Amino acid sequence: MPATVIDPARDALIAVDVQPDFMPGGALPVPEGDAVVPTVNRLLDLFAVAAATQDWHPAGHLSFASSHPGAAPFSRVMAPYGEQTLWPDHCVQGTPGAALHPDLRADRFAAVLRKGWRRNVDSYSAFTENDRRTTTGLAGWLRDQGIRRVFLAGLATDFCVGWSGLDASDHGFAVSLVSDACRGIGIPGADGGADSTADMLAKLRARGVEFVTSDALRLAST
């Protein structure tokens, strides 16, 4: 695979939701989720501008199955803004599972954006909440840094990473997904259709998102 050249003045890394609750043993584990940590740490050496997101839910959040009597995790309900997948309680504000992973090089992040903190609306994307109207402010911050292209890593490919990629494109950024720095949940599709990870990857490809691997990235000066 040809090398992808990183321009420190125009490119940024966004590490999405690299938190213990999404790791094996956490409240909402992503298969092999812990494998992204060393890869993200290596990527941080390539970017002058890097940001992280944290899922940061209040107790009793609308997206928790426990907030809907009789509902099972991974079932769906209609929220005021549309269909919402229900999750096990996870990334509750102030809990160890909501922290950035302790092995992550968090000192390298110029900004950490907390999302999902509004009780009645979920927020997969780093850019736009699930009501599709409320923005997080990340796009403006990136533009203020001169960023024109974002590289995405983290968890989970089929939800927070994928929606961040779609919304970054909507905000006018070029988007690259670092595939070996992401992992997906992979919820089975209905009637034997594509699972949620394959479905999201197809949507990203259709939007023109570039797929890269960490070993193909190079600094412009090297």
Positions marked active-site: 17, 115, 160
Q: Quickly list DSSP for 22-64.
A: GSTTSSSPPTTGGGHHHHHHHHGGG-SEEEEEEE-BPTT-TTB
Q: Residue 174: which residues within 8 A CB-CB, separation 6 or more?
A: 148, 149, 150, 210
- Cα 213 to Cα 155: distance, rounded to the nearest angstrom: 16
Q: Structure tokens of 196? A: 């949620």
**DSSP conformational letter for 198:** H
- Cα 17 to Cα 139: distance, rounded to the nearest angstrom: 17
**Which of 80, 86, 142, 90 has the alpha carbon at shortest distance from 111?**
142
Residue that the structure tokens 């009597």 belong to: 69
